[in-house]
Amino acid sequence: MRGEPSRTAEAVCWMRATDQRRKPADRIVDDPYATLFLGPMSRAALAMWEASGRLGDLAQRFAPGLVAFVLCRHRYIDECLLRALAGTVEQVVILGAGYDMRAYRFTRELKNRPVFEVDHPATSRRKARILAAHKRDLPVADVRVVEVDFRKDSLRERLRASGFRRGVRTFFVWEGVAMYLSRDAVKKTLGELREISAAGSEIAMDLWHLPEGSELISAAHRLSASALYLAGEPVTFAIHPEDAGPFLNRLGYRVLEIAEAPTLQSRYVHDRRRVYGPAYLVHASTRRIRTASKAAAATKTRGA
């Protein structure tokens, strides 16, 4: 329900919280703040998981590989962000921030660079209340909350009003959002991000596609994706990894890496967990697009 805090955001937070029960060497993601945002039902489910581990088996059967993928997704984006922070990026934008805590987990690496957390007001305000209640336990971070109702608000204007600097190198996190939008909405957002940032800005995001293979395997993976319907946020945009590069290139991006399930599995998973196959990660950078008028002017100049 769009007037309520995102249930999917809490579910994803619960998945990150499950990894904290593992030994540090076995964790895919280390997020000590994840449990802060769990409601009573999520806390009860986590307690069951910690007590017996059987809930994890149930989740694996109902949504094979989905929990592991969500954890690998967060870890992959973490690493892309940290590399960017070691370079020339000047600000960070997290789209559909939910209960993302990177601004607090990476305060040292951010070095006072602002983090713009963009989300629907209902989710943003719940997060703000919880953070306020735990303020003494959190490091100081430059977080700019950007409340956006995408049905009526302009992302560009909301960012500008929050202090976003147009035309500088920016790192965009777009995690767990694109699959819930229409193709046109994805294209519009990617185009807008490229226009408001400098060339060489980066984005890390996840994309999904319809699985190939035997009917039984495909049905299992479709059931896994359909499980998200229970949270009221169905998957509506899918694109195959082979098509992701050309799709992004047309929108002014250069793909730096496409990380599919086998890559994520080998990098981050050190036990018997399997990563959900039909979802993957994309890391890309923005590039300048020459308009038709500029290209004509350049041709004319060379001819002269």
Question: What is the residue range of 262's domain?
Answer: 7-303
Answer whether 104's CB lies under 8 Å from 30's CB: no
Does residue 128 contact residue 145 with C-beta atoms inside 8 Å?
Answer: yes
The mean predicted confidence, pLDDT, of the chain is 86
Cβ atoms of 49 and 56 within 8 Å: the answer is yes
CATH of the domain at 63: 3.40.50.150
Question: What is the distance between the alpha carbons of residues 31 and 13, in angstroms, rounded to a whole number?
Answer: 9
Q: What is the pLDDT of residues 212-224, one digit of tens each?
A: 654 444 444 444 4
CB atoms within 10 A of CB 15: 23
* Better-predicted residue by pLDDT, 37 or 210: 37
pLDDT tens-digit profile of 11-25?
899 989 988 888 898
**114, part of any domain:** yes
Region 162-169: mean pLDDT is 97
The count of domains in the chain is: 1
Maximal C-alpha separation, the chain: 77
* Ramachandran bin of 62, using left for φ above 0, alpha for ψ from -120 to 50, beta for the remaining angles: alpha
- Which residues are registered as beta bridge partners of 254? 285
Contacts of residue 248, Cβ cutoff 8 Å, sequence gap at least 6: 190, 254, 255, 282, 284
- Taking the whole predicted model, whether its pTM rises above 0.75 is answered as yes
Q: In this structure, is residue 138 part of a structural domain?
A: yes
Asked, for residue 2, whether it belongs to a domain, the answer is no
The pLDDT > 90 percentage for the chain reads 64
Whether 40 is covered by a domain: the verdict is yes
**Does residue 1 sit within a domain?**
no
**Which tens digit of pLDDT belongs to each residue from 239-266?**
999 999 999 999 999 999 999 999 999 9
